[in-house]
Amino acid sequence: MLQLLNLPVLIFLLLFYFRLAVQFKIIDKPNQRSSHSRITIRGAGIIFPTAILLQALFSGFQYPLFTSGLLLISIVSFYDDLRPLSNKIRLLAHLLAVSLLFMQAGLMVYPVWIILAVYILVIGTINAYNFMDGINGITGSYSLITILSLYFINETQDVFVLSEWLILVAMSLMVFNFFNFRKNAKCFAGDVGSVSMAFIIIFFLLLLILKTQDLKYIGLLLFYGLDTVSTIIFRLIRRENIFEAHRSHFYQYLANVKGWPHLRVASLYLMAQLMVNILIVYSAWNLATFLIFILVAGFAFVGLRFMVEGKSGLLGMDWSEER
């Protein structure tokens, strides 16, 4: 119940940021790659690392390395929201922040090849999470269902963190969603929001996986992973530069080409991931079974994309250019 006292604090802090953002013109103007048509406040996802900093204060800085890494990657991402930042500086910041996260989680005792593989996976996930933040409601709702799933696991199955950390993050997401999960969003998360939320979720997921030694919990981010990996594969087949900005994700196709409302697309991703999470929580899969599940889910998702987008759009001409 004491955690509820933090809710008005988070609301006040976000509203205070809105005033600053308007004053200093931290806004997002629509362009040819945008999925929105109105000028909107950018960088409101700063509320996510703020919630972690509050909990760090309450807990006596229980996770100092994680908190420091989050602060570093959030500052760099917020700067990137304000003006273009060198890819080298961004990558260096990500490497340093992720290194602090690994040290906090205790991953550095594992063999070098495992650590290198997890570096690639984590940095790739952070960037994928950022790319998936392209329409109203999707990042906030998807992240909320992930955090709530982690909270449920923590409360009912395997304790891997003090629940207060998850509760405060969930509160920050609910506050953000109030202003973002709507037809005409008042604010966007920005890079600071999507990157910091990915960093936060990865930390908690890593704690859970290391505690249980069960890789199936990677599936808590399955639907984002399917969209990202399949999009990269199709772009490579079309011989596109995968490092250039684009609108080729499946969620972008649904919103920009099919004309689905943003909140319907966001809800589709939320519900799909929720069903996956229920399977994961109540399953007793071994590694082989989990890998089979991933393969089946992957083929099903690719098949769905072919049915909806068509063969020519996925393998031939880029539908975003075609239109």
Percentage, residues of the chain above pLDDT 90: 87
Q: Kindly list the distances between the CA atom of residue 301 and the CA atoms of 230, 266, 270, 305, in Å, as whole numbers in the listed order.
A: 8, 16, 15, 6
Mean pLDDT of 305-310: 96
Round the average pLDDT of the chain to a whole number and report it: 93
- CA dist 274 and 294 (Å) reads 15
Residue 197, CB half-sphere, CA atoms under 13 Å: how many? 36
Kindly report the pTM of this predicted structure: 0.94
Which band of pLDDT confidence, cut at 50, 70 and 90, is reported for residue 167? very high
**pLDDT in the model for residue 30:** 63
pLDDT digits (tens, 9 = 90+) for 44-83: 999 999 999 999 999 999 999 999 999 999 999 999 999 9
